[in-house]
């Protein structure tokens, strides 16, 4: 098997996602693809690591979380859509009666919510599940949890940022 022939169609051999699928190049950031998603930009990775080093999503207040995503957004590391999606984390915390200065473990928070939602969804009659909007809510919660897990991973191993592009 010739690895070179497989990689020849890619703009950069290091531009592979977690499942070895090609990801967008840094030039595509203008179309809404971010450095955090792709792991493609060394400058973006460095900026993300610097910002995320100031926070810990396993011990963060809603106010600090808002500040963190604001900084990531201003640095161009989040698309507008990603920023809006992450801003909804703050709404989830408000709905859970978490005060703006109360510390929370977001990994545990979303892990618990997601587990409950998955159990409830699995217990639904398939016809009822198809008619409900629960699948959409479940997918949205999974996306938020995935972001929180990404942040936690980057914060726990900032030097490894971008290395998952080869995994």
Give the alpha-carbon dihedral of 60, 64, 68, 73, to 10 degrees.
140
pLDDT at 37 over 70: no
Tell me the pLDDT tens digit for each residue of 97-145: 999 999 999 999 999 999 998 888 888 777 766 666 777 888 899 999 9
Distance CA 37, CA 120 (A): 30
Tell me the pLDDT tens digit for each residue of 53-108: 999 999 999 999 999 999 999 999 999 999 999 999 999 999 999 999 999 999 99
Higher pLDDT, 140 or 31: 140
Work out the angle at residue 154's Cα, subtended by the Cα atoms of residues 150 and 157, and round it to the nearest 5 degrees.
140
pLDDT at 1 over 90: no
Distance CA 101, CA 108 (A): 18
User: Across the strands, what pairs with 124?
Assistant: none
The answer to whether residues 60 and 103 touch, using CB atoms and an 8 Å cutoff, is yes
């Amino acid at each position: 098997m010739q690895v070179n022939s497989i990689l020849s169609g890619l703009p950069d051999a290091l531009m592979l996602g977690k499942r070895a699928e090609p990801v967008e190049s840094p030039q595509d950031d203008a179309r809404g693809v971010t450095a955090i998603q792709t792991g493609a930009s060394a400058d973006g990775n460095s900026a993300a690591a610097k910002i995320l080093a100031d926070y810990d999503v396993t011990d963060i207040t809603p106010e600090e979380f808002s500040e963190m995503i604001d900084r990531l957004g201003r640095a161009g590391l989040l698309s507008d859509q990603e920023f809006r999606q992450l801003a909804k984390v703050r709404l989830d915390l408000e709905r859970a009666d978490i005060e703006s200065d109360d510390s929370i473990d977001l990994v545990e928070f979303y892990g618990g919510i997601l587990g409950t939602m998955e159990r409830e969804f699995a217990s639904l009659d398939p016809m009822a599940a198809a008619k409900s909007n629960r699948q959409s809510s479940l997918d949205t919660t999974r996306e938020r949890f995935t972001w929180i897990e990404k942040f936690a991973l980057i914060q726990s191993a900032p030097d490894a940022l971008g290395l998952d592009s080869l995994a």
